[in-house]
Amino acid sequence: MNDWITIGTLEDIPRQGARVVQTAAGEVAVFRAQSDAVFALANRCPHKGGPLAEGIVFDHHVACPLHNWKISLESGEAVAPDRGCARRYAVRLADGIVQINITT
Amino acid sequence: MKEKLVVIGNGMAGMRTVEELLKLAPEQYEITVYGAEPHGNYNRILLSPVLSGEAQFDDILLNRPEWYAEHGITLHTGSKVEKIDRVRRQVVAADGSSSPYDRLLIATGSRPFILPVPGHDLPGVVGFRDIADVDVMLDAAQHYRHAVVIGGGLLGLEAAVGLVKRGMVVRVVHLADTLMERQLDSAAGKMLQQELESRGVEFLMGAKTKELIGRQRVQGIVFEDGREVSADLVVMAAGIRPDFALAKDAGIHCERGIVVNDTLQTFDPRIYAVGECAQHRGQTYGLVAPLFEQAKVCANHLAKLGYGRYQGSVTSTKLKVSGVDVFSAGDFLGGPESEQIVYRDPGAGVYKKVVLQGNRIQGAVLYGNTLDGAWYFQLMRDGADVSAFRDQLLFGQAHLGDAGHGQHSPVAMMADSAEVCGCNGVTKGDIVHAIRSNGLFTLDEVRAHTKASASCGGCTGLVEQILASVVGSDAAPADQQKPLCPCTEHSHDAVREAIRTQHLTSIEQTMRALEWHSADGCPTCRPALNYYLISSWPAEAIDDDRSRFVNERLHANIQKDRSYTVVPRIWGGVTTPAELRAIADAAEKYAVPMVKITGGQRIDLVGVQKEQLPSMWADLNAAGLVSGHAYGKALRTVKTCIGSQFCRFGTQDSVQMGIDLEKFSWGSWTPHKFKMAVSGCPRNCAEATIKDFGVVAVDSGWELHVGGNGGVKVRVTDLLCRVKTADEVLEYCGAFMQLYREQARYLERTAPWLERVGLDYVKQQMVEDAANRAALHQRFVASQQIAQNDPWAERTTEARRSEFEPLTKTDVGRVSAA
Ligand code: SRM
Ligand SMILES: Cc1cc2nc3c(=O)[nH]c(=O)nc-3n(C[C@H](O)[C@H](O)[C@H](O)COP(=O)(O)OP(=O)(O)OC[C@H]3O[C@@H](n4cnc5c(N)ncnc54)[C@H](O)[C@@H]3O)c2cc1C
Ligand code: SF4
Ligand code: FES
């Protein structure tokens, strides 16, 4: 079964920024790093549910806008000494088209 | 293949360097560590509590064997390096084994100086340096009665108090007339002596040791003047000597220590030295704070980043023998040029002395109450002008009214359950526990582990004091000249200077020019850089959205439930029925959950969804309402009272003045938020004297007040000057804002900025110097021409609305199990 959903183009997401995709499983934040790498995480900070998509993106991390936890975009894990994990989703980029897979 | 790094010395400076290196370049080296002592790295500073029985050896271990294993470090314990072979590039240990190196780090520390008197090698004679020495002392305390400590310095006194606690009869022999003469003046030295005497330590002052006597073991000590006392244990604490024999034998240039440059490199470029064994710019150090600074720079160069520089350290001393509070820093004796302010209360056992030169602190000695040590030390390092509060100086920071809410209780007396950081709910007990269990030394580390003072920062001073009370003088106070963030070695001031002189106009360019060592910065440096750029080059620098905190990017305040607030500008606190109607309509149309009057004389629409923002703004814009910047490091509100238009006491038209000020200054970005108020008479109903810029009308014109702050640390303004006309008020306001914009560090409000640079400086710049005032004002006006666009209006266009909406909506997605 093809579970990949096309959500838009790379250009739709600002560099060092994110856009939100609304799904039946909740909001997914799709990030685009300075390097143009793309990542997808549940748009809920493991601390108190802050909207990660609104955070400052740096390298492959995002700083949550509510209390500044740093979350790894690669793993969804909070950077020590904070502890917690935001759910990660599969995301891929082909010919400038961004697709996510939220069923896995 | 990885390069090989060999470290000689498994002590505090060497291992700190390795830790710093692992943070920067975990994969670069294959690391081998030799330590002459038979265990992992421990916190040498806490040997005294082990001696006195307040701590166990296990409590003071810093890195356990597992830590070395986890990081792939080969550790040779109980293995002394005997030789450095620079030709073959290898070190040879006592057991004959050897290890090759590409880079070598020498961190051999120092040895206690053992007086070369006859008998110095008898059993029962020890230094006070490592755990083996402590074991010898503890053994003596079990089997013998008389102890003599030679040396009345920090180490000697700690040893003496520890041995008294272990039940021995202890005499301290000291050559000088007062104790700790290198850290304390004679008044404080005498008080210390009395205190220790009352705890059972005896002193022999001015006594010079001639000989130690005994057969199988030391039994007594003979002085030059013929006196003689019995001693079953002699602790030599007469100083330390940097341990550089190994380096010297290898032909590395040494003087009083191993000579290193600002990158901690010895004369052999492959070989580095840090810690007590190193001599930098003629100076050797015996406290951990400077050694940790060295470690950081050395790690930086080992990681081949190549930008750190060690430029020497200013140190302070805090005696941590339990219950005795002593602090000293800088030149506390003073010279003919300097002045001394002294406070003495022998009854309460308190003595304070601050040495000033030209109204700047040169040094300080505190006895009995050391709470303000960190504060004086900070003022001293900052070179701050203290003339404004000179008469209050000795009463301490609490007395200045900036100690935060609630009473200022001495940290030592604080209960463990007392809350220190209100923002993050961290208690004193949490902080003490984190420091002890994780071996923390710096404010930043405490912040990272406990979050204490990581938010509003109001409790920073308190956290520093707790840190100092737990670990002693090695607590490194936050240094304003420290790097802006971990991405750079440059301070705030240096970064801004470079932006100006090198005409840097973008974040990327700045990071490149200043050799940032992260790809695209972090949430600390990017907003600061963005501010420095747009305030230095208003016409050229492009405001970088992605480096703005969410509130400033979306021009609304985010709330805990991810909704936002909308606060339109209410010029000078005056509104109209039409504006109120438009606000009411918007509140109804968008079903706003709460409509609130703010503390800043305006109306807050609370609980608005992100997607609703652009259309709500468009509606408000249509009624002439614009953004109030309630979210920004920017001009916030200008509060007013009724003033002479109606009020029976009003002397001037404060309402019109407020409106004029707000129309003039709105839209400007500032280092931190900037608030104003105008009161129509000295009754001051607009509370102008706790604002960044406060105006109070008087019969003859206007009083201008600056540097006030409500919030965490309340600070009343200072009177800047009096002016006659409304135009002058505007000119002074523009000049003051511009001076603040150009000179304060990002996130520094006017109150701490003013305390740092001094009111005199501000007066000199913009009251006494009319030409400079005019120029400052002019620069402000120029930048306002670019800044005064309503950010809401800019974002209500079709093209920009999409950024407030989700990219896609889909109904795919497994509903997670409940
Ligand atoms: C809305 C308001 C409370 C109210 O309903 O009255 C408010 C709300 C917030 N204040 Fe405030 N402050 C409000 C007036 C004040 C005042 C009173 C005043 O301005 O006269 C003060 C003390 C005066 C001062 O600043 O000197 C005040 C001192 C603070 C502080 C502490 C600043 C300090 O220097 O210590 C913070 C924290 C900060 O800025 O880092 C803060 C931060 C905040 C934040 C932005 C916290 C945050 O980051 O989320 C709050 C945003 C909530 C929101 O979304 O609206 N707020 N805040 C007031 C808005 C006034 C306005 O019309 O713009
Ligand atoms: C009792 C006591 C209390 C103190 N209190 C304070 C305080 O309150 N505040 C403060 O700031 N400082 C204090 N200090 C000083 C502080 O502990 C030192 O400044 C710091 O430990 C120096 O670090 P270092 O790495 O240079 O030396 P060390 O920590 O001594 O480490 C050097 C290590 O190298 C090993 N070594 C030496 N030669 C060789 C070799 N050839 N081969 C292998 N290994 C070798 C040594 O055995 C030692 O383990 C105190 C020191 C003592 C002893
Ligand atoms: S509005 Fe201000 S005082 Fe009230 S909770 Fe928020 S930050 Fe604290
Ligand atoms: S909700 Fe993300 S840091 Fe608190």
For residue range B581-594, list pLDDT tens digits in order: 999 999 999 999 99
Answer whether residue B624 shows pLDDT above 80.
Answer: yes
Residue B799: burial class (beta carbons within 10 Å; 0-12, 13-18, 19+): exposed
Report yes or no: B306 at the A interface, CB cutoff 8 Å. no
For residues B602 and B711, the model is more confident at B602
What average pLDDT does range B408-430 have in this prediction?
70
Cis peptide leading into residue A81 (ω within 30°):
yes
Answer whether residue B817 shows pLDDT above 60.
Answer: no
Tens of pLDDT, residues A10-36: 999 999 999 999 998 899 999 999 999
Whether residue B550 and residue A55 make contact (CB cut-off 8 A), yes or no, is yes
The structural architecture, per CATH, of the domain A4-101 is 3-layer Sandwich (2.102)
Answer whether residue B486 shows pLDDT above 90.
Answer: no
Strands (E), B261-408: 271-273, 278-280, 316-319, 326-330, 339-345, 350-357, 360-367
Least confident stretch, A86-100, B374-388, B755-769: B374-388
According to the model, what pLDDT value does residue B410 have?
Answer: 59
Confidence of residue B382 (pLDDT cuts 50, 70, 90): confident
Whether residue A22 and residue B808 make contact (CB cut-off 8 A), yes or no, is yes
Task: Give pTM, 2 decimals.
Answer: 0.59
Report yes or no: B407 at the A interface, CB cutoff 8 Å. no
Q: What ligand is nearest to the CA atom of residue B600?
A: 1
According to the model, what pLDDT value does residue B322 have?
Answer: 55
Q: Which residues contact B776 (CB under 8 A, 6 or more apart)?
A: B734, B735, B736, B738, B739, B742, B765, B766
Query: How many CA atoms within 13 Å lie on the side-chain side of B457?
Result: 6
Q: What number of other Cβ atoms are within 10 A of residue B312's Cβ? A: 14
Task: Nearest chain A residue to B803 by CA: give it.
Answer: A19
Cα(B84)–Cα(B73) distance, rounded to whole angstroms? Answer: 20
What average pLDDT does range A57-64 have in this prediction?
96
According to the model, what pLDDT value does residue B463 have?
Answer: 86
Ligand 2 atom closest to B41 (CA):
49
According to the model, what pLDDT value does residue A93 have?
Answer: 93
Question: What percentage of chain B exceeds 70 in pLDDT?
Answer: 94
According to the model, what pLDDT value does residue B401 have?
Answer: 43
What average pLDDT does range B136-152 have in this prediction?
95
* Average pLDDT in chain B: 90
Confidence of residue B62 (pLDDT cuts 50, 70, 90): confident
What average pLDDT does range B601-609 have in this prediction?
97
Strands (E), chain A: 4-9, 17-23, 26-32, 38-42, 56-58, 61-63, 70-72, 88-94, 97-101
Distance spanning both ends of chain A, measured CA to CA: 11
Select from A14, A15, A32, A52 the least CA-distant residue to A100. Answer: A32
What average pLDDT does range B501-518 have in this prediction?
94
Whether residue A12 and residue B807 make contact (CB cut-off 8 A), yes or no, is yes
| Cα separation values, B474 from B12, B288, B607, B802, Å | 12, 5, 47, 53
What average pLDDT does range B639-652 have in this prediction?
94
CA torsion sign for B725, B731, B737, B740 is: negative
Answer whether residue B170 shows pLDDT above 60.
Answer: yes
Which residue's CA is minimally distant from atom 15 of ligand 2?
B287
Whether residue A22 and residue B806 make contact (CB cut-off 8 A), yes or no, is yes
Confidence of residue B814 (pLDDT cuts 50, 70, 90): low
Report yes or no: B816 at the A interface, CB cutoff 8 Å. yes
Tens of pLDDT, residues B116-127: 999 999 999 999
Q: Which residues contact A84 (CB under 8 A, 6 or more apart)?
A: A45, A46, A47, A69, A77, A78
> Which residues on chain A are in Cβ contact (under 8 Å) with B817?
none
Counting ligand 1 atoms within 8 A of each CB, the residue from B598, B601, B633 with the most, and so the one to mutate, is B598
Whether residue B813 and residue A34 make contact (CB cut-off 8 A), yes or no, is no
For residues B492 and B423, the model is more confident at B492
Burial string for B83-104 (b: 16+ CB within 10 Å, else e) reads ebebeebbbebeeeeebebebb
Report yes or no: B560 at the A interface, CB cutoff 8 Å. yes
Answer whether residue B47 shows pLDDT above 70.
Answer: yes
**Closest CB from A50, A58, A65 relative to B526:** A58
Confidence of residue B406 (pLDDT cuts 50, 70, 90): very low
Cα(B818)–Cα(A78) distance, rounded to whole angstroms? Answer: 24
What average pLDDT does range B182-193 have in this prediction?
88
According to the model, what pLDDT value does residue B408 have?
Answer: 36
Q: Which residues contact B587 (CB under 8 A, 6 or more apart)?
A: B595, B605
Do B638 and B694 form a contact (C-beta atoms < 8 A)? Answer: no
Q: Which residues contact B667 (CB under 8 A, 6 or more apart)?
A: B629, B634, B635, B784, B787, B788, B789
